[in-house]
Amino acid sequence: INAEYMGSPDLTLICEIILLSQGFADSEALARKITMLYELMDKQLSKQDHYDFGLRNIKAVLVQAGNLKKEAPPDCNEEGLLLKACSDMNLPKFVRDDVPLFLAMLGDLFPGVEPEDPGLADLRQKIKEELQEGRFQVLPHSIEKTVQLHETQETRHGVMVVGETGSGKTVSWKTLQGAMKRMKDADIGEYETVRSYLINPKSLSMDELYGTYNLATREWRDGILSYIMRQV
């Protein structure tokens, strides 16, 4: 009979190893901070279906921090990079009541540390111009949410925008689309013109959506998504 042991993973040790692999010198102290942050978020923030404070999300944050470190100068503030990664990867998904509590947690764990500047001043200006052209009110919250959508798309393969009817979901992504086109036209940064395709996946079968392979004729028939990817 073989003895078996089951227990919770040592998140601090896992975080330390990941941070070391990403090139962080002060990995031990930073690992303790990130572990404490996620423990506090899990216990103190409200319970929402789209919240995820498990190891998968922690790893995504640490990998993003590593990406920021690769682009930063050698003498950069590692705490500032980790703070920016934690903020960028978590803040956009929090409901309004949880935002002040999350910011307070960051302030307690990273006292006196400012997140690294993302350098998106030009994008913010183009977002403002796009809102003005659409005759929308130019509110700081609207600009911030659009910037958060951009930052989330830079770090995630898939993004879901959720909210009540009339809360600005469509305006947010359409404004970002227009702002990125303006950035491309002005030749600012590495931006590309965005094309959007609206699909209702609930109205389609899996074969219609992704495509199907006919075993009898050995022919492939494109679905909606695969057809669009060929056009792109």
pLDDT in tens, 45-99: 999 888 888 888 899 889 888 888 888 888 888 888 889 888 888 888 888 899 9
pLDDT over 90 (residue 36): yes
- Global confidence as pTM: 0.75
**The pLDDT of residue 6 is above 80:** no
| Phi/psi at 63 (5° precision) | -65, -40
Q: Locate tokens 């913010």: which residue?
A: 124
The pLDDT confidence band at residue 16, using thresholds 50, 70 and 90, is: very high
- Output the pLDDT for position 153: 85
Secondary structure class of 55 (helix, strand, coil): helix
Residue 1, pLDDT > 70, answer no
Q: Report the pLDDT value the prediction gives residue 155, as an integer from 0 to 100.
A: 76
CA 53 from centre of chain:
14
What pLDDT was estimated at residue 69? 87
Three-class DSSP labels, 97-145? HHHHHHHHHHHHHCCCCCCCCCCCHHHHHHHHHHHHHCCCCCCHHHHHH
Residue 24 CB contacts under 8 Å (≥ 6 apart), including other chains: 30, 65, 66, 69, 78, 82
